[in-house]
Structure 1
Amino acid sequence: MIKACIIGATGYAGAELVRILSLHPETEITAITSQSYAGQPFWEVYPHLYKYIDLTCEEMDLSKLIAGADVIFMALPHGHAMPVAKEALSYNKKIIDLGADFRIDDSQVYEEWYKVKHTAVELLPEAVYGLPEINREKIKQARVLANPGCYPTSVVLGLAPLLDRGLIEADSIIIDSKSGVSGAGRGVSLNTHYSEVNENIKAYNVGVHRHTPEIEQELSKISGQKITISFTPHLTPMIRGILSTIYGKLKPGAAEFDLRQLYREFYKNEPFIRVLPEGMLPKTKAVTGSNHCDISIVKDDRTGRVVVLSAIDNLIKGAAGQAVQNMNLMYNLHETTGLEFPGIYP
């Protein structure tokens, strides 16, 4: 059995991680930590897990937590995973960071966008970006796993086949993404107050969202050239889900390709990618509660553009489910282990 410790377990992503791992046939949760709920049984914080998890939330006793685990999941605000990672690696343990601290290759870019000093720069060269559909073989060898952000997951999976084949203009990509409020976390905020969110939809962080450099970095790696995007996220009056609508200008001759077949071929062996049939478009309700990413692609012959739509559950494929998928690969398990469930509907 893989012994797993979850640091920061009472945020929404951490709670989903506890839920998934509590049912995982090859994993034992050894400890869960929470700054806000130390001393409380986890099921008191999240009653839906009563009788599924009997652990009590602990304060951070790092050496004790690390000693009792094989893999350390960190679901912490940016800046807080670095000291934990260095300590865990000194014990030769594996780490999976659900935050942003190891996603950006360049520490200066990280510091510019996140306004936090990077104190584990020496670990960045070995950090593996944990998007299994793109980096599967590297993930299998990883000690430091950077779990992707939710928006980047939906965008990179949506664009990878086109960029891999060089079918769209690199400077033409526009991304319009819409997210449920759980993406903002469990902390109390006026922006996610019911009266502010209900019957409302709004853009935020236009052109300056912190996931922008992560998206550009990964798209540039796939395409082999520098990609600069226009990215606008929106907050919608729903709890879970991300729908990304992505626009790009097709290169001359690209219109002759059967783009849907290109996507089917690119993702033919991917258990969690569903390329939808013609006439069927992704919707967040269809992936809620699952580790799937639904993708559809539409050629707009009139404008010469392509429109890619992708949908994920931001807390599962966009966070906890993908983290478990990565753990499975790191420990030579079938990557679908503990994740073979459809979404919930309605």
Structure 2
Amino acid sequence: MYRVAIVGASGYTGGELLRILAVHPQVEVSVATSREYAGKFVYYAHPHLRGFYKLKFKKLDNPDQLSEVVGDVDLVFLALPHKVSLHYVPKALEIGLKVVDLSADYRLKRLEDYKIWYGYEHPYPDILEKAVYGIPELYSEKIKGAQLVANPGCNASSSILATVPVAAEGLIDLDHLVVDVKVGSSEAGAKPYRGGHHPEREGTARPYDASGHRHVAELEQVLREFTGRDVKVAFTPHAVSMIRGSLASAYSWLTRDVSELDVQRAYAKFYAKKPFVKIVRGAPMPYPDVKNVYGSNYAEVGFAVDKRVGRIAMFAAIDNLMKGAAGVAVQNMNLMLGLPEDEGLKYLVPVRP
């Protein structure tokens, strides 16, 4: 039985990690930290987990306390805010732990991108170089040998899953790629703030960060790797009236006359033997729907070819807290520990309605 720690376990993502791992057959959570709930049982922050854990939250104030607080574990999940995880990662690696970092602090490979998108100069370029970007459908072999995996952003994940298969096949005009993402309020985290708080999002739909959202840097980085050229994407997220879910709708012009079957083959080739990606075509629902993936690590992908104007629409639907955060973090953990990729995840069937 492998032992793991969750640092920053009282938020939505921490709660989802605890929920998944409560029934994982080969992994147990031995430590969960929270400064706010230190000394209290896990169910004080996550009432739905009452009866599943006897754990109490431990307090962890700084990276130098990491070894003392987490003890003898095999892997640590860092579910901490951006710029906080930054300094915990080196300490975790120093004491020999495998790390899945759910912040953005090690996702981008170009140092200058951190200045552009996060407003700071990255202090650990050597560690950044070794970090593996954590989308298993793209990088499973690298993840298997990694000591540090940088978990992707939720909106980046849905956008990447929608676009990379056709971009890699050269089917779309990379100079004219537009991505529109609709995302639920849980993306904003457990601490309410104006605009992110669910009552401010219920009953409405509105764009945010329309002049440039940070997750586009991840999408452009992956597209650059799979196409061999720089790509700039017009990317706009929308806050919509739902709690969970990230639906990416991407649009571009086709580079040649292709049939729907050609496009479907591109997706099928790319996602062959990928256990958590479902290609959606035909009746009863011809396009991806976030309601079909709630509470699971599954992703639905799909497309539409508009032959009249030579355009393609590409779609991906995920649960932002699962395939966009905790679910894929556990998938990455499985690969890092040499376990089956779908262990503890395959039977988390989506919840509907």
Shared topology, TM-score over 0.5? yes
1:268 aligns with 2:272: yes
Do the aligned partners of residues 15 and 306 (structure 1) sit closer, same or farther apart at CA in structure 2, a change above 3 Å counting? Answer: same
Residue in 2 aligned with 1:157? 161
Structure 1 residues without counterparts, runs of 5 or longer: none
Residue in 2 aligned with 1:3? 3
Do the aligned partners of residues 222 and 45 (structure 1) sit closer, same or farther apart at CA in structure 2, a change above 3 Å counting? Answer: same
Q: Tell me, what secondary structure is at the counterpart of 2:167?
A: helix
Residue in 1 aligned with 2:320? 314
Residue identity opposite 1:217 in structure 2: Q
Do the aligned partners of residues 194 and 330 (structure 1) sit closer, same or farther apart at CA in structure 2, a change above 3 Å counting? Answer: closer
CA contact (8 A) 2:58 2:69 kept: no
RMSD of aligned Cα (Å): 1.3
Q: Tell me, what secondary structure is at the counterpart of 1:317?
A: helix
Residue in 1 aligned with 2:299? 293
CA contact (8 A) 1:74 1:81 kept: yes
CA contact (8 A) 2:260 2:304 kept: no
Q: Hey, what's the Cα distance between the residues in 2 that align with 1:207 and 1:222? A: 25
Do the aligned partners of residues 194 and 79 (structure 1) sit closer, same or farther apart at CA in structure 2, a change above 3 Å counting? Answer: closer
Residue in 2 aligned with 1:197? 201
1:69 aligns with 2:73: yes
Q: Render the CA deviation track for 1:27-65: whole Å, top value 9, x for unaligned.
A: 111111112211211111111000111111111131213
TM-score in terms of structure 1 length: 0.97
1:146 aligns with 2:164: no
Residue in 1 aligned with 2:236? 232
Trace 1:85-100 onto structure 2 (pairs within 5 A): 85-100=89-104
Trace 1:174-185 onto structure 2 (pairs within 5 A): 174-185=178-189
Q: Hey, what's the Cα distance between the residues in 1 that align with 2:198 and 2:76? A: 34
Q: Tell me, what secondary structure is at the counterpart of 1:86?
A: helix
CA contact (8 A) 2:188 2:197 kept: no
Residue in 2 aligned with 1:37? 37
Return the offset for 1:106. Answer: 1.6
Residue identity opposite 1:97 in structure 2: D
> Among 131, 138, 143, which residue is 1:134 paired with?
138
Residue in 2 aligned with 1:59? 59
CA contact (8 A) 1:66 1:88 kept: no
Q: Render the CA deviation track for 1:227-268: whole Å, top value 9, x for unaligned.
A: 110000000111100111110111024458621132123212
Return the offset for 1:278. Answer: 2.6
CA contact (8 A) 1:284 1:312 kept: yes
Do the aligned partners of residues 45 and 143 (structure 1) sit closer, same or farther apart at CA in structure 2, a change above 3 Å counting? Answer: same
Residue in 2 aligned with 1:335? 341
Return the offset for 1:66. Answer: 4.2
Trace 1:222-261 onto structure 2 (pairs within 5 A): 222-255=226-259, 258-261=262-265
Q: Tell me, what secondary structure is at the counterpart of 1:270?
A: coil
Q: Hey, what's the Cα distance between the residues in 1 that align with 2:341 and 2:219? A: 24
Trace 1:160-175 onto structure 2 (pairs within 5 A): 160-175=164-179
Q: Hey, what's the Cα distance between the residues in 1 that align with 2:88 and 2:75? A: 12
CA contact (8 A) 1:79 1:117 kept: no
Q: Hey, what's the Cα distance between the residues in 1 that align with 2:117 and 2:145? A: 29
What is the aligned-residue identity percentage?
Answer: 39
Q: Hey, what's the Cα distance between the residues in 1 that align with 2:280 and 2:90? A: 42
Residue identity opposite 2:282 in structure 1: E
CA contact (8 A) 1:30 1:68 kept: no
Structure 2 residues without counterparts, runs of 5 or longer: none
Residue identity opposite 1:150 in structure 2: C
CA contact (8 A) 1:77 1:99 kept: yes
Q: Hey, what's the Cα distance between the residues in 2 that align with 1:255 and 1:194? A: 41
1:209 aligns with 2:221: no
Q: Hey, what's the Cα distance between the residues in 1 that align with 2:247 and 2:231? A: 21
Q: Hey, what's the Cα distance between the residues in 1 that align with 2:162 and 2:295? A: 20
Residue identity opposite 1:329 in structure 2: L
Q: Quick check: 53-62 or 327-336, which moved more?
A: 53-62
Return the offset for 1:342. Answer: 1.5
CA contact (8 A) 1:179 1:233 kept: yes
CA contact (8 A) 1:94 1:143 kept: yes
Q: Hey, what's the Cα distance between the residues in 1 that align with 2:71 and 2:128? A: 23
Q: Structure 1 residue runs of 4+, over 4 Å off?
A: none
Q: Hey, what's the Cα distance between the residues in 2 that align with 1:22 and 1:240? A: 21
Return the offset for 1:118. Answer: 2.1
